[in-house]
């Protein structure tokens, strides 16, 4: 963490959506860093801002979104200073993304081969016959059986797991520095999940690629990530190395989240739930957005600023009274 040159640095990022019913403060002062070759997990309930944050990094936020403060620095250069053209060049070449439902992310009326070729044509110097060779090579790399035949298949002819493999092939085709995987295995079977995650991990290791794994499954994050970011309603509430986080969670929300995840030895009686819901992000919010659900609430928790304590080296927690 001491390195002065992280691959990606998100610094104090705030983002809001202007809607008819009010301004939704979707992200507030989000900061974290990713090193080269590191896999970072982003966990939290739905609505905590995980996807909004990754769209902001990709520069594909909704038109209603407005970044009100902060910067995103990728490879030493602020993304907000780049032109639309430059961002276009960067997306897919330096930062790639895998989406949640591979079947909807792929074009249903074109073969997977032609979709893969598009990306190779756009982002590499391969031309003519080479493109097809490269595409087949990539399909091989993601362990698609019989790539020559699958090359001409349409997405509906492939299983969900196979479609996700194609998405991975597309995402890694230009050997990006950073891969953002937004719930890449949600909705797939556990056996397929494991195979897909192994594939992402191997691809990242071979290329020394940084990976952001967005997931709501703590087990998955624990197994595949070096570092974990816990988000709650637009705040980063805790950042730590995976082992530290699970061995000693310091934020009450993280502890609750771990306690609510079924595992192989916990009984139903030991499975705790998190009281309350995510707050309405359009309303006036207290400094700590978890305060309404927190069992350890003290009076000064509601007053700004939201603290950001470093309890140990590299273990950050946004709580005045960490556990």
Q: Report the residue number, 96 or 215, with the smaller CB distance to another protein.
A: 215
Pairwise CA distance, residues 97 & 93, whole Å: 10
Please identify, among the stretches 58-66, 94-102, 149-157, 189-197, the one whose residues bind another protein according to the rule CB under 8 A. 189-197
Regarding 280 and contact with another protein (CB under 8 A), the answer is no
Q: Give the one residue of 222, 287, 297, 309 binding another protein; rule: CB under 8 A.
A: 222
CB 102 within 8 Å of CB 63: no
Q: Binding to another protein (CB under 8 A): which residues in 139-168?
A: 145, 160
Helix orientation angle between 129-141 and 160-172, rounded to the nearest 10 degrees: 120
Q: Binding to another protein (CB under 8 A): which residues in 90-119?
A: none
CB 167 within 8 Å of CB 86: no
Q: Report the residue number, 194 or 297, with the smaller CB distance to another protein.
A: 194
- Other CB atoms within 10 A of residue 145 CB: 9
Using alpha carbons, list the distances in angstroms from residue 42 to 182, 218, 223, 230: 9, 9, 13, 6
Q: Give the one residue of 57, 116, 179, 220 binding another protein; rule: CB under 8 A.
A: 220
- Other CB atoms within 10 A of residue 86 CB: 13
**Nearest Cα to 193, choosing from 242, 226, 160?**
160
CA dihedral of residues 16, 17, 19, 24 (deg, nearest 10):
-50
Q: How far is the CB of 3 from another protein (least distance, A)?
A: 27
Q: Give the one residue of 132, 134, 216, 282 binding another protein; rule: CB under 8 A.
A: 216
Q: Report the residue number, 255 or 318, with the smaller CB distance to another protein.
A: 255
Q: Report the residue number, 130 or 263, with the smaller CB distance to another protein.
A: 263
CB 40 within 8 Å of CB 13: no
Pairwise CA distance, residues 70 & 91, whole Å: 20
Regarding 217 and contact with another protein (CB under 8 A), the answer is yes
Q: Give the one residue of 194, 287, 297, 309 binding another protein; rule: CB under 8 A.
A: 194
Q: Report the residue number, 90 or 257, with the smaller CB distance to another protein.
A: 257
Q: How far is the CB of 267 from another protein (least distance, A)?
A: 7
Regarding 76 and contact with another protein (CB under 8 A), the answer is no
Q: Report the residue number, 99 or 224, with the smaller CB distance to another protein.
A: 224
- Does residue 246 have a cis bond before it (omega within 30 degrees)? no
Q: How many residues bind another protein (CB under 8 A)?
A: 41
Please identify, among the stretches 53-61, 73-81, 174-182, 193-201, the one whose residues bind another protein according to the rule CB under 8 A. 193-201
What burial letters (b/e) apply to 6-40, b meaning 16+ CB within 10 Å? Answer: bbbbbeebbbbbeeeeeebbbbbbbbbbbbbebbb
Site string for another protein, 239-278 (x = CB under 8 A): -------x---------xxxxxxxxxxxxx-xxxxx--x-
Q: How far is the CB of 168 from another protein (least distance, A)?
A: 17
Task: Look at phi and psi of residue 6 and say left if phi exceeds 0, alpha if psi is from -120 to 50, else beta.
Answer: beta
Regarding 190 and contact with another protein (CB under 8 A), the answer is yes
**Nearest Cα to 54, choosing from 193, 293, 190, 214?**
214
Binding residues vs another protein (CB under 8 A) = 45-46, 145, 160, 189-195, 197-198, 216-220, 222-224, 246, 256-268, 270-274, 277
């Amino acid at each position: 963490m001491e390195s002065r040159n992280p691959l990606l640095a998100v610094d104090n990022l705030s983002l809001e959506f202007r809607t008819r019913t009010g301004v939704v403060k979707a992200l507030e002062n989000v900061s974290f860093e990713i090193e080269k070759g590191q896999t970072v997990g982003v966990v939290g309930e739905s609505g905590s801002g995980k996807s909004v944050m990754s769209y902001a990094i990709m520069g594909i936020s909704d038109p209603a979104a407005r970044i009100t403060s902060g910067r995103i620095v990728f490879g030493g250069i602020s993304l907000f200073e780049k032109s639309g053209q430059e961002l276009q060049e960067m997306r897919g070449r330096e930062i790639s993304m895998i989406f949640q439902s591979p079947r909807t992310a792929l074009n249903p009326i074109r073969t997977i081969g032609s979709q893969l070729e598009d990306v190779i044509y756009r982002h590499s110097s391969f031309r003519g016959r080479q493109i097809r060779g490269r595409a087949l090579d990539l399909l091989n790399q993601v362990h698609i059986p019989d790539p020559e035949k699958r090359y001409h298949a349409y997405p509906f002819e492939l299983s969900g797991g196979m479609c996700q493999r194609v998405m991975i092939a597309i995402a890694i085709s230009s050997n990006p520095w950073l891969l953002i995987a937004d719930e890449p295995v949600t909705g797939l079977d556990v056996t397929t999940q494991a195979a897909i995650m192994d594939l992402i991990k191997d691809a990242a290791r071979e290329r020394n690629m940084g990976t952001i794994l967005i997931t709501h499954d703590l087990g998955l994050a624990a197994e595949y990530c070096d570092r974990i970011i816990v988000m709650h309603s637009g705040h980063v509430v805790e950042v730590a190395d995976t082992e530290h986080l699970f061995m000693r969670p310091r934020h009450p929300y993280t502890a609750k989240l771990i306690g609510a995840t079924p595992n192989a030895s916990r009984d139903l009686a030991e499975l705790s739930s998190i009281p309350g819901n995510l707050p309405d992000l359009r309303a006036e919010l207290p400094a700590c957005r978890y305060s309404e659900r927190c069992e350890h609430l003290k009076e000064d928790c509601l007053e700004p600023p939201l603290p950001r304590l470093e309890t140990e080296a590299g273990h950050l927690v946004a709580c005045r009274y960490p556990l």
